[in-house]
Amino acid sequence: MGTTASRLLASGPGWRVMDVVCTAGPQDRPFEERHETVSIAAVTEGTFQYRSAQGAAVLAPGSLLLGNHGACFECGHEHAAGDRCLAFQFEPERLEEIVAGVPGVRQTAFSLPRLPPLETLMGLVAAAEAARDDSDGAALEEIAVQLAVAVAATLADSPRKPSAPSRRDERRITAALRRIERQAEERLSLAELARAAGMSPYHFLRSFRQVVGMTPHRYVLRTRLHRAALRLRRTNEAISAIAFDAGFEDLSTFNHRFRRIMGMSPSAYRAQRR
């Protein structure tokens, strides 16, 4: 029987951050739950299915679960066991205060069940994981505000709901996501991933985008950069060693892609922790 354990990391008036670890698997039936607050949960490990009034989606590392205050939902692990999330929870009035000045935002209620692992949010998610590991409540308070604003701005720019894949394709893509988690530093071609999933390259690519919200190549790149960002925050290892261990074949490519997505060089990103 799977269990869910929650640990309070930081809190203040109208907000809190929880570390949520779930061990449920395919043998466990999902049951209806209710969001007691507005929730933005960053998935840091594992995959699972999330269903709410806003739709259904597969959540993978880097995805953001979106939950409206008072809304009922279900989480299921039909294809694989276990996950871990960083849950940023807000009272509705507090969230309204935070996003009041965000251009284009007319409501705080979420119109989508999740946001995919967007490159624009990767830096915040990595910083949140590092703050969780360091038990840095002050950093988590700042990240909570930044994340709420970033989500509101992103939803204001992209109101469309993603199309739903079949259950069979969802299961195959989940297996591919788990493989990428295990082997992100290795060469994983589209043809190889599609072959392992028993799908044509075109069908695999289309289904992956439906389920995850981005292409396999972008997801692999996002995973590598995310892990590199965490090591830059957590350790004093040489940047070249971090780049090669993450799966980049040369330092210049790593520096270029890190700067393009994170908006600064790896050394500047590392310096932020000080």
Ordered by start, the domain boundaries in the chain are 4-157, 167-271
Best CA proximity match to 214, nearest among 79, 119, 85: 119
**pLDDT at 256 exceeding the cut of 70:** yes
Instruction: Say if CB 258 and CB 265 are below 8 A apart.
Output: yes
160 pLDDT tier (thresholds 50, 70, 90): low
Mention the CATH class of domain 4-157. Answer: mainly beta
**In this predicted model, which residue has the larger pLDDT, 2 or 153?**
153
Instruction: Compute the average pLDDT of residues 238-242.
Output: 95
**pLDDT at 106 exceeding the cut of 80:** no
pLDDT at 166: 86
pLDDT at 102: 78
**pLDDT at 233 exceeding the cut of 80:** yes
pLDDT at 110: 92
53 pLDDT tier (thresholds 50, 70, 90): very high
**pLDDT at 161 exceeding the cut of 60:** no
pLDDT at 65: 97
Best CA proximity match to 5, nearest among 63, 82, 57: 82
pTM: 0.75
pLDDT at 229: 93
pLDDT at 119: 85
CA 165 vs. chain centroid, Å, equals 19
CATH topology match: 4-157 vs 167-271:
no
**For all residues of the chain together, what is the average pLDDT?**
90
Q: Which residues contact 217 (CB under 8 A, 6 or more apart)?
A: 190
pLDDT at 74: 94
Q: For residue range 168-224, list pLDDT tens digits in order.
A: 999 999 999 999 999 999 988 888 999 999 988 888 988 998 899 888 988 999 999
CATH architecture for segment(s) 167-271: Orthogonal Bundle (1.10)
Give CA angle at 58 (79, 76), nearest 5°. 50
d(CA 216, CA 193): 9
Best CA proximity match to 180, nearest among 124, 148, 235, 227: 227
Instruction: Write the burial class of residue 78 (CB in 10 Å: 0-12 exposed, 13-18 middle, 19+ buried).
Output: middle
**pLDDT at 11 exceeding the cut of 90:** yes
pLDDT at 238: 95
**pLDDT at 130 exceeding the cut of 70:** yes
Instruction: Compute the average pLDDT of residues 74-95.
Output: 92
**In this predicted model, which residue has the larger pLDDT, 199 or 161?**
199
Highest mean pLDDT among 86-90, 133-137, 250-254, 258-262: 86-90
